[in-house]
Amino acid sequence: MYTHQYLEAFTARLFEQMGCPPSDAKVVAELLVKAELRGLSSHGMMRVKDYYLLVEAGRINVTPKVRIIHETPSTATVDGDGALGPVAAKRSMEIAIEKARNVGTGWVATKGSNHFGIAGYYSMMALEHDMVGISMTNANPLVAPTYSTSKLLGTNPIAVAIPTLNQPAFVADFATTPIARGKLAIMGKKGEKLDFGFVQDKHGNPSIEPDILLEGGAILPLGGSADHASHKGYCMGSLVDIFSAVFSGANFGPFVPPQVAYLPLLEQSVGDGLGHFFGAMRIDAFRPAEDFKGKMDQWIETFRNAKGIEGQPPVMIPGDPERLFEERITKEGIKLIAPVIKDLAEIAEKLNVPFRME
């Protein structure tokens, strides 16, 4: 087991050795370790290798000038300048929060970025300001629209964080697909199989193989099949793509650049890098903050007391599973799987950074 403090310090040192300023390295390290703490290891330390190889290939700018290129009092478009995704994303969310502080709401579209990790990290930044936080991102195309074998969309997550008074915050953080690429990668490393409804092969047939993407297959939209309303997941993923890319000027749909170095850059581009979208809303722009948060507590208590189904867990509130993971893992430590430890050790050796093997 590793403590989160150890992994944060180690990871920050790795990114400093890659050429990142210490402040940017700290942001990336905190984001990756937060994913581990919240039980989202598919977006945690296993991503260090992806980021490292992209930096090594010259496809990430480790000294970017993240800047606003267009704005109004409540909106902004941010150019990430090829930054590591967490660096461009955190700065963008800070801008959204500042605009909301000034005029009630703030909305930021970001282009020229890369994979930004867990969406909930950014939406939760708004909570301490008594604001609702919203974040979303498009991603490299791995998802086939309903009735198609063409990979046109990413897993395109959305996260919304809503403050409360005494109850834990409401934090909905979900992909618009039934599974993320990172989870498929972990299952492949473990030799596990999927249930039907997550992926399809290159001909559009249902598959249970987590490595099917390497054979031309695709992830399905949320819903899995047309019979189970996958068109709704397709709609949600499309909206994230439009908000993240068409608003910002990033690449959309099939033109999003791959976020792994072993895949070549696409010949055609319709924008700049990968795109994100962020929002912040002051709750006192709608009603007194204490009133709003009290009613959120009441909402949460109402749903927690919902009549359950015999033999099933009690009803949970969005954010509960991740919060419980974070409480437990913070105490017990972070367990990394052997392939991830091996990758980290190899990168650490190349960058001359000490690493403690389990």
Token pair 């000034």 is found at 102
**CATH number of the domain encompassing residue 272:** 3.30.1370.60
H-run or E-run covering 290? helix 289-304
Report the pLDDT averaged over residues 195-209: 95
- Residue 56: which H helix or E strand, with range? helix 47-56
DSSP codes, 76-145: EEEE-TT--HHHHHHHHHHHHHHHHHHHSEEEEEEEEE-----THHHHGGGGGGTEEEEEEE--SS-BPP
Instruction: Give the whole-angstrom CA distance, residue 293 versus residue 287.
Output: 10
Query: What pLDDT sits at residue 186?
Result: 83
Distance CA 144, CA 230 (A): 10
Please write the tens of the pLDDT for every residue from 252-282.
999 999 998 988 999 899 999 999 999 999 9
User: What is the predicted pLDDT for the residue at 180?
Assistant: 83
Query: Which pLDDT tens digit goes with each residue over 320-346?
Result: 999 999 999 999 999 999 999 999 999
Does residue 163 fall inside a structural domain?
yes
The answer as to whether 302 is a domain residue is: no
Task: Look at residue 39 and tell me if it is in a domain.
Answer: yes
Domain count for the chain: 1
Report if residue 290 sits inside a domain. no
Is 310 a member of any domain?
Answer: no
Range of the structural domain that residue 61 is part of = 4-285
Q: Is residue 178 part of a domain?
A: yes
The strands making up 199-200's β-sheet, listed across from edge to edge, are 206-207, 199-200, 218-219
Task: Tell me what the mean pLDDT of segment 8-18 comes to.
Answer: 98
Give me 134's structure tokens.
């919203």
Q: Answer yes or no: is 344 within a domain.
A: no
